[in-house]
Structure 1
Amino acid sequence: MSEQTERVRLDQPREQRRWTRRRRRVDPETFGKFAEGFARFMGTATFIAWMTVFIIVWVLWNTLLPEDLRFDAYPFIFLTLILSLQASYAAPLILLAQNRQEARDRVTQEQDRDANARAHADMQFLAREVASLRLALGEVATRDFLRSELRSVVADLDERREDGDGSRRSASG
């Protein structure tokens, strides 16, 4: 009994057992991607064509062949069961695919809203900048204004020259 007491120590952690089950980590996106692929396939003409061929073969097999070769003893009850089973699995998978698409659409809409808000803010900023430039340009001399002022100065100088030349000529003559 003293040997067992010595083996168990409460002040030290227990050794981990090697036979413990490890859980596999399943990526949640894996099943979603499968559901989307399945939903996409069910929405194709290929799926509809193969399903139509399957049903036609089933109906012909169970109506035209002798009773001992038929595998659906009652008229198409097994076919109905298979189609119901397929529909019961298809509906949730299609809904899952639609939910994932809605989530992606929601994220895209939020990003579009954010981009529109940024564009709107940028446009408002640019409108304010253009307005401030217009106000500033009201106080700044433009090229046309400078040309007209220079022309008037040149005209004034020409007039003074003419007046100055005429008065000097008369005084010297």
Structure 2
Amino acid sequence: MSDSRRERLDTPRDTRRQIVRRPTVDADAFGVFAESFARYMGTAKFILWMTLFVIVWVAWNVLAPADLRFDEPPFIALTLMLSLQASYAAPLILLAQNRQEQRDKVIAEQDRQANARAHADMEFLAREVASLRMSVGEVATRDFLRSELRGLLGDIEDLQRRETDDETPPTPGETGPRSPA
């Protein structure tokens, strides 16, 4: 056999044949439809329209002449129609809830990650502030420098006073240079 037609023993043959293709449904588009349908069914507008429809249906089938009535009491056609509507509405509402739950999970995960990053940033900043406090403890503060400069200024003023006292001429009763105090 040639290489292109050679069958390998470790590769299974595809024995399934698809005769009829299954219809594909865009899950996202269907989900968007389900959400919009569920959103509409949860409004007062829908309830008012449905109530009005049922009232008109019942009124027509009770008050209309007998030959124009299409659903006699106990209104079996109305019951079947409402049951059909409910049987489609329930899965659509569940689908919409599942999609919302998935979005909520994604948002919760993003929030958790953001909180973890914020926590790590706060821990980093706390360490930095602690190291700055330790460094500041080793650095001279403004008040310390002021007190040292005041002390030095006082020493300079004392030295200047002594020099001026040494340069003053002796008074008439004194003899010789003044001794330092």
Correspondence for 1:59: 58
Give the Cα separation in 2 of the matches to 1:154 and 1:79. 105
Question: Structure 1 pair 144/126, CA: closer, same or farther in 2 (3 Å)?
Answer: same
Correspondence for 2:119: 120
Query: Tell me, what secondary structure is at the counterpart of 1:75?
Result: coil
Asked if residue 100 in structure 1 is aligned to residue 99 in structure 2, the reply is yes
Q: What amino acid sits opposite 1:98 in the alignment? A: Q
Count of aligned pairs: 157
Identity over the aligned pairs, expressed in percent? 65
TM-score, structure 2 length as denominator?
A: 0.78
Question: Structure 1 pair 11/164, CA: closer, same or farther in 2 (3 Å)?
Answer: closer
Correspondence for 1:34: 33
Correspondence for 2:81: 82
Question: Structure 1 pair 24/76, CA: closer, same or farther in 2 (3 Å)?
Answer: closer
Superposition deviation, residue 11 in structure 1: 6.1
Asked if residue 132 in structure 1 is aligned to residue 115 in structure 2, the reply is no
Query: Tell me, what secondary structure is at the counterpart of 1:71?
Result: coil
Give the Cα separation in 1 of the matches to 2:63 and 2:85. 25
TM-score, structure 1 length as denominator?
A: 0.81
Correspondence for 1:7: none
The higher radius of gyration belongs to: 2
Question: Which segment drifts farther, 122-131 or 23-32?
Answer: 23-32
Question: Structure 1 pair 95/22, CA: closer, same or farther in 2 (3 Å)?
Answer: closer
Give the Cα separation in 2 of the matches to 1:163 and 1:25. 107
Greater than 4 Å deviation, 4+ residue runs: 20-25
Indicate conservation of the 8 Å contact 2:61/2:71, yes or no.
yes
Higher RCO (C-alpha under 8 Å, 6+ residues apart): 1
Instruction: Note the residue ranges of structure 1 that are not aligned, 5 or more in a row.
Output: 1-9, 13-19
The structure whose residues are more often helix, as a share, is 1
Q: What amino acid sits opposite 1:97 in the alignment? A: A
Give the Cα separation in 1 of the matches to 2:4 and 2:145. 95
Q: What amino acid sits opposite 2:134 in the alignment? A: L
Q: What amino acid sits opposite 2:90 in the alignment? A: A
Provide Cα deviations, 1:58-110, integer angstroms capped at 9, x if missing partner.
Answer: 10011111222111145211111111111111011001101111111111111
Query: Tell me, what secondary structure is at the counterpart of 2:59?
Result: helix
Instruction: Note the residue ranges of structure 2 that are not aligned, 5 or more in a row.
Output: 6-18, 171-176
Superposition deviation, residue 39 in structure 1: 0.2
